[in-house]
Amino acid sequence: MDYFHELHKRTAVRREVQRLRPAMYRVACGWCHDPSLADDLVQEAVEKALRNAGQARDPERLQGWLYSILANCLRDHYRAVHVHEDVDALGESLEDGGAGPEELCSRGQTGRQVRRAVSRLPLGQRQVLILVDLEECSYAEVGEALRIPLGTVMSRLCRARATLRAALAAGLLAERTTRLRSVK
């Protein structure tokens, strides 16, 4: 009897994990800003989830559990490559080296400006922001997924949005200045 129950549960978990895979990939991209790393992270998280399907409390509501596995995979990755371990301080070292300031100022690049600003946030803030804004998770779900108290979810989100607004305002200002210069 127990065996069949377990089997049923594992099947349900497998189905749900497949369904949520695109969402996991989106979140992973938002957290690390690198598609091939995101791909690896999701792969790793899916393997872990399927291996530990027995631990899932409710096979129909796996999202939070999967995000917490994903967060662990990301943390393990940063540890393995000796990137700073403190999630709150992590950030500056992770910004992309791609676009220079000139590129950032070109017209119609708001999306890139936003992603760049997000990538510069400390990891802890970035994780909360992505789950709330992209995945529309509730604060409680975010707290559960990242194993942090509700108050921390709120303060990280508040700081993340404040930084983002300042960065985007600065970006727009620079853009306008560049445009004015090119008109002169």
Q: What are phi and psi of 89, to 5 degrees?
A: -90, -20
How far apart are the C-alpha atoms of 53 and 46, rounded to whole Å?
10
CB of 114 to another protein, least distance (A): 4
Binding mask of the shown chain, residues 104 to 133, with x at each position contacting another protein by CB under 8 A: ---xxxxxx-xxx-xx---------xx-xx
Residue keyed to tokens 């399907």 = 53
Q: x/- site string to another protein, residues 134 to 163, per CB under 8 A?
A: x---xx--------------xx-xx--xx-
Q: Are 49 and 59 in contact (CB under 8 A)?
A: no
Between the alpha carbon of residue 102 and those of residues 98, 106, 122, 142, the distances in Å are 11, 7, 24, 36
DSSP letter for 67, please: H
Rounded least distance, CB 158 to another protein, Å: 4
Q: Which residues of the chain form contacts with another protein (CB under 8 A)?
A: 21-22, 25-26, 29-30, 32-40, 42-44, 47, 77, 80-81, 94, 96-99, 107-112, 114-116, 118-119, 129-130, 132-134, 138-139, 154-155, 157-158, 161-162, 164-165, 168, 172, 175
